[in-house]
Structure 1
Amino acid sequence: MENKIKTKFSVASEEGIAVLQMLGEKRGQEKYTGLLNTSQLEEYLFEKFNTPTIISNLNTFSNQLIIVYVEDQPAGYAYLSGNGTVPEAFKDKRLIHLEDFEVLDAYKSTGAREILLEKCLNVCKSYEALKIIENAEAGDNIAFYEQYGFQQSGSAVINIAGFNLPSLILIKTNF
């Protein structure tokens, strides 16, 4: 039997906030344990997933949060935003930013990651470009995005709680 996978848009309700906090904290620990020390990780998780920040982000008109569920269990999320740095080559285009795209490790082989990205691409059809910044050393993630038509468009450095993470800018233009 296949896993039952579904996506839902989330809002700044108590339930939506709690689900995002749980997913964000679990995924943050999966992603950054060993890279950040304990205090850096705690600082990052607090700054990114505290209730006022989440409410502010979700109540901004140009932002959207999509949660993916596997067998009714929250498995990951995608956070789209109309705000962010636009590469020079895309200044005259309607561009949206995929600020976060995270699926818990336990659900990576369920199809949840693919369903979530396909939902994002469908949501972004009214835009001319979709941008994501990904850890330069996450070759499997970069290959995943490239199979959906994303192309490398430059490099960036992301600061995670004082740790500079070399990253790549990936952009998809054909929907």
Structure 2
Amino acid sequence: MEIITKFNIGTGDMLPALMEEVTREKFSALVSTGTIEKYIDDKFDRKVLMADLNNIANQVLVVYVDNKPAGYAHITAKGQKPEVLGSKRGIRLAEFGILQQYNEDAVRLSLFEKCMLVTKSYDGVWINEYAESSLISFFESKGFVPQDESFGLEGLPLPAKCLVKLRV
């Protein structure tokens, strides 16, 4: 199995479809179909997506397994910064998801390591993840620390946790 993670260049048809599929898989058991579809329509609207991808404050990474898109991560400077970062330079891992059929340690690790490489010039990285996500333990095992504050999931009525990885 060949695993490679790289920057997404342009949107094409692959990225929106991948984002939508990951979102459906991740949240379908947690919220209604109507809620997911509205979230997808709002969040992955082509104009919004193009604007995000053409904004220097955003990066999208895609992990491929045997040349098939398997997951993605969205890194952005947007979003409310956790208090623990204070005046430090922080960056947010806004989305991190892998399709269920590829959800293996090696795939997750490839995407994560590329995210950490891209964000290495920052003092800290944070992520808001829904509270029951299996990714929470993964991020904690990689040095992310749960915070007392949480910023929600921007459009989904789910409890969330904020995790921060500080670089010393």
Q: Structure 1 length normalisation: TM-score?
A: 0.89
Shift of 1:131: 0.3
- The structure-2 alpha-carbon separation of the partners of 1:157 and 1:125, relative to structure 1 and needing over 3 Å to count, comes to closer
Give the match for residue 163 of structure 2: 170
Matched, 1:108 2:103: yes
* Aligned-partner residue type, residue 136 of structure 2: I
- Aligned counterpart in structure 2 of residue 5 of structure 1, from 3, 6, 12: 3
Q: 1:136 maps to what in 2? A: 131
Distance in 1 between the 2:26 and 2:75 partners?
20
CA distance in 2, matches of 1:126, 1:147: 21
Instruction: Provide the C-alpha distance between the structure 1 equivalents of 2:82 and 2:91, rounded to a whole number of angstroms.
Output: 12
CA-to-aligned-CA distance 1:45-84 (integer Å, 9 cap, x gap): 1111111011011111111000000000000000000111
Q: Please name the residue that 1:124 is paired with.
A: 119
Distance 1:67 1:89 in 2: 29
CA RMSD of aligned residues (A): 1.6
Structure 1 position 157, deviation (Å): 5.2
Corresponding letter in the other structure for 2:29:
G
How many residues align? The count is 168
Unaligned 5+ residue runs, structure 1?
A: none
Secondary structure at 1:126's aligned position in 2? coil
Structure 1 segment 33-112 matched on structure 2, within 5 A: 33-109=28-104, 111-112=106-107
State the 1:160 CA deviation.
5.7
Structure 1 outlier segments of 4+, above 4 Å: none
**What secondary structure is seen at the aligned counterpart in 1 of 2:88?**
coil
Q: Which has a greater percent of strand?
A: 1
Report the residue type matching 1:108 in the other structure.
Answer: N
Q: Percent identity among equivalent residues?
A: 35
Judge conservation of contact 1:80–1:97 (CA < 8 Å) in 2.
yes
Deviations 1:133-166 (A, max 9, x none): 111112x3111001111011124252564x4211
Retained in 2: the 8 A contact 1:157–1:164?
no
Conserved 8 A contact 2:130-2:153? no
- Say if 1:17 and 1:54, in contact at 8 Å, map to a contact too: no
Q: Partner of 1:164: helix, strand, or coil?
A: coil
SS in 1 for 2:81: coil
TM-score normalised by L of structure 2: 0.93
In structure 1, the residue corresponding to 2:79 is in which secondary structure? Answer: coil
Q: Deviations along 1:102-142, whole A, 9 cap, x unmatched? A: 1111101261111000110111110000000111112x311
- What displacement does 1:29 show? 1.3
Deviates more, 1:141-150 or 1:17-26: 17-26
Cα distance change of structure 1 residues 28 and 119 upon mapping to structure 2, 3 Å threshold: same
Query: 2:152 touches 2:160 (CA, 8 Å); kept in 1?
Result: yes
